[in-house]
Structure 1
Amino acid sequence: MSDLDQLAERFEAERAQLRAVAYRMLGSLNEAEDAVQEAWFRLERSDVTEVRNLPAWLTTVVGRVCLDQLRARKSRREDALECHVPDPVVGELGVVDPEQQALLADSVGLAMLVVLDTLPPAERVAFVLHDMFAVPFESIAPIVDREPAATRQLASRARRKVQGAAVPETDLGRQRVVVEAFMAASRAGDFESLLAVLDPDVVLRADTGAGGLAGASRLIRGAQAVASQALMFSAMAPYSRLALVNGAVGLIGLPADKAYSVMGVTVRDGRITEINLLVDPDRLAGIDVSFLTG
């Protein structure tokens, strides 16, 4: 086996972990894959004979690549004023997929990714690497171009913002009861039952993307407004199917053999507190829903 083949083998052993790191930083499956691939290109071009800890070296490279992507994205999104929903990871209820499990360790739900999306790039990188992957601040500091003490402060600020978000229900059985009640009320066009299952301060975030209806992306707050929106799309309710969306019970709109929508649902104290709805046909086209159509 050549030296390059051995290096490739070592890299492949780290790919799942690197992809998980990049997904948390970027909230995009395609961009995460691109970041991991860029790490491989840099590894190919580098002399790592003196590198004692290759996984740490690769994590650092992915961190730098993701930081650059986040900075570039921030300027684009400020111009576009997007209502953005991160890429969902979907799967079948009751089935453990090892690849998804690696990607979603620590239950990185869509609601968490939405909060991470609000962080400045350096804060997000510092928080993800330290709090989610236990990378020491001394190793993160060169990535974000700060001293270790300043890097610690970045992660601390991010942590306060993340901890300010409500802690969701983690029991899948209780989640399912609430989501099924929401689905039944939507199908029946029952406004009062919808109100009963929605938290008064519920937030609905709908992302139709560039390929969706012009101006349709929106952020809606409050049970009355969200219930009214749900009734507007009640014709699609019969096509909703239960699935795992980022490790939680969610819904996939499936009028044919491909997804029309993916809905991530956050449940707390028996009610829905947040709905993240992706209706972007371009991004949905890359989501495998064969477990629902096979």
Structure 2
Amino acid sequence: MTQQFSLAYLTVVNTPPPEMTYMAARAGYDFVSLRPIYMGLPGEPNFSLAQNSQLLKETKQALKDTGLKLLDIELARIADGVDPKQYEPELEVAAELGGKHVLSSIWTDDRAYYIEQFAKLCELADQYGLTVELEFVPIASVSNLAGVVDVLSTVDKKNAGLMIDIHHFHRSHDTIDELQKVPKDWFRFVHLCDAPGVIPTDHDEMIRIVREARSYVGEGGIDVAGIVNTIPQVPYSIELPNKQQSDLLGYEEFARRCLVTAKEYFAKHPRNKEKVNC
């Protein structure tokens, strides 16, 4: 099975969906992973495809021109005061564009509330043939593998899954032994990157690395192959924000280098077919 790759939004942050799609195609990716759900972060542009008909038209044309597929959209956060229903317009557009998955994470400490809201999101996405992939983030409320396993086991939705981000997995101190216990049908794609092996104790430094200083695969200190080879073969969405490298190379060349270094790494670290079936 040939490994497939997607270009994730944060790798080329603030790039409009049509431009990002053409860029991903020229760089050699198989998919693109977009962020049409506006998060209201400082300086973040609003790339809502549901609210901007011209942007949607141009994105459709870019996908048609390139032959790329939309892998997933982000980020359907579960948080206090946020109704999952508000994501529906973007879910509908994602399905219209041929997307398969919706990325989610949890940012409220109220377990009863986030279980209920995540279940609602799954039910809503299911109406559009989409799966919901729950990502744990060390700085969020559900911050480790055990937290996601708890959510997915409790909601028990067929279209709910687990999205492992290599950086977050390492930072959460989770282990490959624990990852091996997770049901294989929970996995549909992975966020691929590398990062320094030493985990920062300073919160601001952790956020800085997450947002702008991740490493090319194989150039950090994480056992990337050990993690991904525990998971069934699924698309790797390269989420590798690195401001220094992208400023130096420009987004397109940086995206290409992210892909080339990842392929070179996996050529040296092939999957153990006896351990994980694809």
Q: TM-score, normalised by structure 1?
A: 0.29
- Report which of the two structures shows the higher radius of gyration computed on alpha carbons: 1
Q: TM-score, normalised by structure 2?
A: 0.30
Q: Which has the higher helix share?
A: 1
